[in-house]
Amino acid sequence: MKPALILSSTAAPGIILESIRPEHLELLRLWKNNHSHRFFHQEKITSSQQRQWFDAYSTRPHDWIFLIHDAATKHPVGCLGYRVLDKEIDIYNVLRAEDVPSRSRAHSHALNILTNHIAAAHQLPIRARVLADNPAARWARLHGFQPIGRGHEAELEYHFLEQDPLRRAAYPVTAKWASDCTNQNSL
């Protein structure tokens, strides 16, 4: 099991990123199934499949998914994750809870916290593959991700985006491992 990791920034008071744990699986599964048309895997996920995915995820040291907590609400407002793939960082599983308005700034702050943490921990390009009809492609461009290509996978067209480091909002990030609550920057 991975240690719990908490990310925050003084630039975004009230926004906390908490690495996922087994008790979050059903919430994540429901979010993913409710938005399955926005992802490469568009079939509904069963509880058993979600558990199998989590078991594998737990063994990958450079694969992290975080719940996004906003102090203005009493529940998680979404999630986002990243993984090291070959010689790049892949941002993935960006989801917003159904009751969170699209104008909410929580996800924008969370993405800025996450990409600043990644930039400090890894010297790799930060990229994302987003389905062409997903509004997240436009949202990512607002956060410094530029189109660098297009592709097709299983009949689905996607945009290949990379974050321009010069357009990344500067957020000082505090990373705390829940086991000892000390600052660390290496994942």
Say what the pLDDT of residue 25 is: 96
pLDDT at 65 over 80: yes
pLDDT by residue (tens digit) across 108-149? Answer: 999 999 999 999 999 999 998 887 777 777 888 888 888 888
Percent of the chain topping pLDDT 90: 51
Per domain, the residue ranges of the chain are: 5-177
Nearest 5°: CA angle at 145, between 144 and 146?
Answer: 110
Sheet holding 5-9, edge to edge: 145-153, 156-163, 126-131, 88-96, 76-85, 63-70, 15-19, 5-9, 173-177
Q: Give the residue, 132 or 7, on which the prediction is more confident.
A: 7
Superfamily for the 5-177 domain: Gcn5-related N-acetyltransferase (GNAT) (3.40.630.30)
pLDDT at 187 over 60: no
Global pTM reads 0.87
The tokens for 50 are: 């979600």
**Residue whose token pair is 């926004």:** 15
Please, what is the angle between helix 25-34 and helix 47-57, to 10°? 110
